[in-house]
A and B are shown apart, each in its own frame.
Chain A
Amino acid sequence: MNIGILTLTILVLLSPGFFFRRGYYSGVFSKQYFKQNIVESILWTIIPSVIIHIAGYSFFIQWDFEIDLEIFSILLSTSATKLELEYAFQCIFNYFPSIFSYFILICFLSFVFGIIWKKIIRDYFLDSRFKVLRFKNYWHYIFTGEILNFPNIPGNPIDANNAYLDLICTIGDESYIYRGFLLDYQLSKEHELESLALFGVKRRRLNQDTLNLQANDESGDSNDLELAKITSDPYYSIKGQFIVFKYHEIKHINITYYSLDELTDDEVPKDLIISNPTLKKGWFLFHMGWIFFFIFGYWYLNKMPAETLMFTNKYVDSITVSLLSILLIISITHNQIKNAYGKIQKDGFLFGFIGGVLGSVFVYFIADRTMSFQLFHLNIMLTLPIALGSIAGSAKGWLGSIFFVLIGIGISIYCLYTVDSGIENTFWRMFGIMVLGLLISWAFRILIIVNNFQEYWKDKILNSKIGY
């Protein structure tokens, strides 16, 4: 009986799933990583592990290695003999550097995919909209205002950037109302609220309303409760940095979400300031996308012979990889654009997407009719016009879309005419594509800056005409 080896083998095989979960349950949802039921564990560990291993096999293993199923059967068997185990371990030892590198690589990629998956779910509020994807830290949704995005709950969570709390607490026989801004909260291991920290706290006795009312009645003044509250504020401030409340001492919590904004009529628009951290982050991710294309393309062209297919035929193959690339680009840029502009122009996005698809079909037919090509180039052809058009459209409307769909088509045609049968110049071809990508990103940036300058000066001229 070698239960230990069986367990160890399963653990090693499931390691990508553990890393995926570690990436997925990070940040404010990290406690959920340690506490899950069987169904969730299967959902978020075994399934990702299987998918990642299939992808790992497709991308890394199948070109140079073969999987020895006999070794697996020995390691997963509880009745393997000592001789069989020695044989299995000897085989593993012989290929240890490759096996070790493979697991390190896919575990790292699993962690990254976990983070990306979480980012997609969080950025698009999928966890708020679909209960099955919701994290267990329910208080996070309440305190951040994301609960307003739940179905049937009115309100806009984007506006809710602060939570102001009224707590009813009992001290001895007296009940008090405390009010203040939520600073922090702690959860227990069971995801229950353990404590709350408020700052800028005021408090009063719960029955103070009644006392004021009685006082006003006796003096013959108005018995308007609202007026009583305003004219004789029964709250008094508690001095200190913040105050911590144990959850079991709190009877009720009233939450009000506030949106605080700074308006500067005469300030240069934020997007003109290159040091704007949001833009920096957006451009960093944009460039990361291009670097990904460069590495992926270089690997793809070197590793995969032109006639090799991942799926059934070159059309399905190209379209699948293209769709994945589009999803990747849109997912990493969508939120940045939203942050930089405050909103996504949905019409522009749709226009860019449809225009990009038509442009891609156009390029695709040129490619298909005129010359042989390699799959990655076809992927770029299909991906670029759509992705660039839709990104530009979501930020700048349909005019931006047209501009970038045309640029995308131009790059695609460039890719098309640089294709030859050999792969000796792969590096320089990919380098050329990357440089063009960088130029596009800069063109995009320049477009934003020019547009903002126009709006800025338009406002200035308008203001000067009406006397501001």
Chain B
Amino acid sequence: MGGLRLKTILKTLLELINDTDKINTISPKTEKFINENGYSRLIQLIEAERAIKVVDGKKILEDGHGNNITLDKNGVVVWKKNGNKKYTLRRVGSNEVPNLQVAQ
């Protein structure tokens, strides 16, 4: 059990018996994203997602959200950071709309 340390055990115990109803609702993935890219980038992705329009049965992301933010083939917002590293932001339930294509 190489990674197991007394500190980890104590921390886990403290978390288990803690008395608060506090919760950090930011997921670890998002926290990592914010630490690496800043929260303004995250807001930018949210705004891009909210600006997706449907024209003639096709999803379109209006101009003005540049900075390598595009839609992938499933209509999910993608931000290509650099090289082969990219992030996707999807609104839960957004893929439940049937028969929509993405304008290329």
Contacts and interface: CB of A to CB of B under 8 A. Distances in A.
B29 A30 contact: no
B37 to A, nearest CB: 10
B87 A260 contact: yes
Interface string B71-104: 0000000000000111111111100100000000
A183 B91 contact: no
What's the dominant secondary structure at chain B's contact region? mixed
A156 B20 contact: no
A160 B91 CA distance: 8
Given A161-B30, A287-B1, A31 B21 contact: yes
Contacts of A287: 1
Given A28-B23, A143-B25, A284 B4 contact: yes
Interface residues of B, number: 42
A292 B93 CA distance: 42
B18 A26 contact: yes
Nearest to A197: B25
A260 B89 contact: yes
B15 interface: yes
Contact of B21 (A28, A181, A264): A28
B19 interface: yes
B87 A115 contact: no
B3 A275 contact: yes
Contacts, number: 127
Contact of A23 (B16, B25, B29, B30): B16
B62 A184 contact: no
Q: How many interface residues does chain A have, given as a range?
A: 35 or more
Contacts of B89: 258-261
Contacts of B90: 159, 258-259, 261
Interface in A159-178: 159-164
A262 B29 contact: yes
A199 interface: yes
Given A184-B23, A200-B39, 15 more contacts: A28-B23, A144-B23, A156-B92, A159-B92, A184-B24, A186-B21, A230-B62, A256-B91, A257-B91, A258-B46, A264-B86, A265-B86, A275-B3, A277-B3, A287-B1
29 contacts: A26-B16, A26-B17, A27-B16, A28-B23, A115-B16, A144-B23, A148-B92, A154-B93, A156-B92, A162-B25, A183-B25, A183-B26, A184-B22, A184-B24, A200-B43, A202-B43, A230-B62, A230-B64, A257-B91, A258-B89, A258-B90, A258-B91, A260-B27, A262-B86, A262-B87, A263-B85, A263-B87, A265-B86, A280-B3
